[in-house]
Structure 1
Amino acid sequence: MKEKILEKASDMFLNLGFKSVTMDDIAHEMGISKKTIYAHFPTKLKLVQATTFFVLEKIHETICTVCSANHDPIKEIFTIKSMVNDQLKNEKSSPSYQLQKYYPKIFKQLKEKQFESLNLCVEDNLKRGIKEGYYRKDIDIDLITRFYLSGIMNLSNREFFPAETYKLSDLKDAFLEYHVRAISTEKGLKTLLNIVRK
């Protein structure tokens, strides 16, 4: 039952927002009593926290699946972006922004966990890209990894990118193209252009 609650709560939070979805809403959608939810999650705060890390774990599994498919490094990061977007429901309700605004401690924990789980993935992508001739040999892997992670994690910052002006999916596309162009060889640029022109 706990897993089912997490699945339903994550679906509703991502579609409708952390703030607007209540325990009553989740219970109603699941056809169970609120008491059943409280038996597993004594407060909404606990449910939000559990849901956040449940979603992060699912994303981590998706990233591992993509990485094991042996795509070229550029196709790999675009495939990850696309699949993660699907999992996050294209961030219809701006979950990162809402988490930051209403649950800042959970947001901070999420950022730390994201950095841990993505750090090795990005480093591996860069190392493989250099080895296979897609990325330049002279790039500083640690620095580029940090540039990439700090950039991708801050695209949902509404102060920098107001929602009425910038669509998050467009920002992600632009950022990823910017990142790849900055580090690519001629071979990498050709691969990138084949992806972005489709």
Structure 2
Amino acid sequence: MPRRKVPVPQSAAEHAVRHRIISESRRHFFAHGFRRVTMDDLAEELGMSKKTLYACFPSKSALLETVILEKFRSVDADLGRITSEASSDCLGALHRLLACVQGHMEEIQPPFVRDIRREAPDLFTVVESRRRDVIQRHFGKVFLEGRRAGLLRQDIPPKLAIEILLGAVQAIMNPPKMEELGLTPKSGFSAIIRVVLEGLITEKARSR
């Protein structure tokens, strides 16, 4: 007898469709921005009906918000895996944090940053808030461990170091300033972290 095909549960099928929409939209939005793309364009690019697309996401704004929140969940999970081992190798954790952030920022191009600030200021506020939270929790933890290990300066409290880092990110990682300085999200964030870390590490850390 021919093997009977096991039907895929509807919830699993819906999840697969939703995941595909998010993945493709993320790739498109982050690379090219989202101001000019319509839900009709996305449906055509995905090879699905507009009805299917709208059944998952009622608007482009809802889809954009989901893309952003999924991105932050991914960043948070990756950084969390690194900081969970920070106490045993603080300097290594700092280097891995930087590499991880660089990897995540690589897919985000200037058109997306420009569009979200101009066209979706409420979501830009969400981005800034989530970014602040991620930096405080993950870099703050490693800064604290590094200070305890004598690898980061004792005269600069970790909370102050984080505020300096956050202040630099806030001042530089915005579309007008990035355009003025000729930066991408990846190059800007990497430069900020490197400058801050250079001022924090001790001679003990440099000799390693």
The TM tier, using the shorter chain, reads 0.7 to 0.9
Uncovered stretches (5+) of structure 1, i.e. residues with no partner: 192-198
Matches within 5 A, 1:68-87: 68-70=84-86, 72-87=89-104
Query: Is it true that 1:3 corresponds to 2:19 in the alignment?
Result: yes
Contact 1:14 1:89 in 2 (8 A): no
Q: TM-score if structure 2 supplies the norm length? A: 0.80
Q: 1:170 to 1:85 in 2, by over 3 A?
A: closer
Q: 1:152 to 1:72 in 2, by over 3 A?
A: farther
Q: Specify which of 49, 53, 76 is matched with residue 69 of structure 2.
A: 53
Amino acid at match of 1:122: F
Query: Is it true that 1:12 corresponds to 2:28 in the alignment?
Result: yes
Give the whole-Å Cα distance in 2 for the aligned partners of 1:73 and 1:152: 22
Contact 1:94 1:156 in 2 (8 A): no
Q: Specify which of 108, 122, 130 is matched with residue 113 of structure 1.
A: 130
Contact 2:33 2:112 in 1 (8 A): yes
Contact 2:82 2:96 in 1 (8 A): yes
**What count of residue pairs does the alignment treat as equivalent?**
191
Give the whole-Å Cα distance in 1 for the aligned partners of 2:83 and 2:56: 34
**Range with bigger deviation, 27-36 or 46-55:** 27-36
Query: Is it true that 1:151 corresponds to 2:168 in the alignment?
Result: yes
**Range with bigger deviation, 73-82 or 54-63:** 73-82
Give the whole-Å Cα distance in 1 for the aligned partners of 2:201 and 2:38: 46
Query: Is it true that 1:142 corresponds to 2:159 in the alignment?
Result: yes
- Displacement of 1:88 in angstroms is 3.6
- Displacement of 1:37 in angstroms is 1.3
Amino acid at match of 2:29: F
Give the whole-Å Cα distance in 2 for the aligned partners of 1:58 and 1:183: 28
Partner of 2:190: 173
- Displacement of 1:106 in angstroms is 0.7
Uncovered stretches (5+) of structure 2, i.e. residues with no partner: 1-16
Partner of 2:3: none
Secondary structure, aligned partner of 1:57: helix
**Range with bigger deviation, 153-162 or 99-108:** 153-162
Give the whole-Å Cα distance in 2 for the aligned partners of 1:168 and 1:43: 27
Q: TM-score if structure 1 supplies the norm length? A: 0.83
Amino acid at match of 1:50: T
Partner of 2:119: 102
Name which one, 1 or 2, has greater alpha-carbon Rg. 2
Secondary structure, aligned partner of 1:172: helix
Give the whole-Å Cα distance in 2 for the aligned partners of 1:158 and 1:184: 30
Give the whole-Å Cα distance in 2 for the aligned partners of 1:69 and 1:142: 20
Percent identical pairs in the alignment equals 20
- Displacement of 1:11 in angstroms is 1.4
Q: 1:166 to 1:75 in 2, by over 3 A?
A: same
Give the whole-Å Cα distance in 1 for the aligned partners of 2:172 and 2:104: 17
